[in-house]
Amino acid sequence: MACTSAGKYDPDTNRYSCQVTGDDCMFMRPDSKACAEMFNEGPDSDDGEITLEEMNDLPVESVVGIPCRSCEGHEDHTKLQDGTWKCNNCGDVKDMNTD
């Protein structure tokens, strides 16, 4: 098993960081399905899912956690005036209707 929200490995704690909670991952080997079942967090959880149609209807400056191709994880993105979304972590801009 694996998890796309797993961050860097910390040899001092022997754990990976979690990009969802900002804490250490609860699992020695990150497992997104188990995390979703036990904690309702991570990329496989139902919590906070939003459709493309709902995203298009959100006002400018709304913030949504979506996958970032540059950060390789789920990051907060802010909706811009032109309807694209800018990653708050790396600044990558994506058009959800074409990407």
* Integer-rounded Cα radius of gyration of the chain: 15
* Three-state DSSP string of the chain: CCCCCEEEEECCCCEEEECCCCCECCCCCCCHHHHHHHHCCCCCCCCCCCCHHHHHHCCCCCEEEEEECCCCEEEEEEECCCCCEEECCCCCEECCCCC
Global pTM reads 0.50
Q: pLDDT band at residue 11, thresholds of 50, 70 and 90?
A: very high
pLDDT, residue 47, reads 55
pLDDT, residue 65, reads 83
Model confidence pLDDT, tens digit, residues 23-82 = 899 888 898 888 878 877 777 776 556 778 888 888 999 888 888 878 877 678 899 999
